[in-house]
Amino acid sequence: MNDSRIWVFHGLYAVAGGAFVLLPSSVPMGWRFFIAGVLYNLALPLFAVRCVEPRWIRIWGFLFPLSWMQIFPDWFLVEVLGTLEFPDLQFPKLGPVSAFMGLLWITPLFLIVGLGEDLAQRWGTRSAALGSAALSVLIFGIAEATLTLIPVWHPVGVKAWGPVALYVLIPEAILGASAWWAFRLTESRSILLRTAAAAAVMLLYIATLSVSHALIEG
């Protein structure tokens, strides 16, 4: 995004949220992530209103249900492919997946979709798709490398570069590009159509995870 305000917002959130999650506390780790996710999803739309940026609100509105839908790919990885595990962080789970994950996907996806929109306006849709895919790999790669150390989750029995599972990289690139494209196509459409587009992004992610796992893991 070319607006420094949104980068400052996310930078401050990263520092404050990281300190809240990582500093010693009697609050269970799972609840810390949940609280951090709730605060983000309250603060971001309020910040957008304060900045008079309706597009930021529309991006958040598209991604909020998608963020919760992303529990299903994680569920698929745990129960079907057996390549992921969520340890007990003293917080409720949806199936085998820590429920707070539904609040966390939106943070990286907001930056990815926002960058895609900026690139589309400046350089066209091809640059936007490539840029959002590249940022997606970067952000989710960093997440894989850091959050697995807590661990919020950890890969099981897959080829990896350090803590980063290799088979997820291409699907994550496609996730970023498809999330941006789905938002762009449905930004001004009905809530029902935007929700259906978000579901299509989630299902595409599951499909690409399955294919990538078959190709890389054999």
pTM of the model: 0.94
CB 107 within 8 A of CB 170: no
Residue 53: predicted pLDDT? 93
Which residues, in sequence order, are CB contacts of 126 under 8 Å at separation 6+?
A: none
Per-block mean pLDDT, blocks of 10 residues, the chain (218 long): 84 93 92 97 96 95 98 98 95 97 97 95 93 96 88 91 91 98 96 97 98 92
Q: CA neighbours within 13 Å on the CB side: how many for 131? A: 20
Q: Which of 20, 109, 129 is nearest to 56 (CA)?
A: 109
Q: CA neighbours within 13 Å on the CB side: how many for 106? A: 29
Q: Are strands 164-165 and 93-94 parallel, antiparallel or unpaired?
A: unpaired
CB 197 within 8 A of CB 185: yes
DSSP element (H, E) containing 190: none
Residue 218: predicted pLDDT? 76
Residue 147: predicted pLDDT? 87
Residue 44: predicted pLDDT? 97
Residue 2: predicted pLDDT? 62
Angle at 65 between CA 124 and CA 12, to 5 degrees: 70
Alpha-carbon distance of 33 to 18, in angstroms, equals 9
37-62 b/e (C-beta count within 10 Å ≥ 16 → b):
beebbeebeebbeeeebeebebbbeb
Please classify residue 167 by burial: count the beta carbons closer than 10 Å to its beta carbon, then call 0-12 exposed, 13-18 middle and 19+ buried.
buried
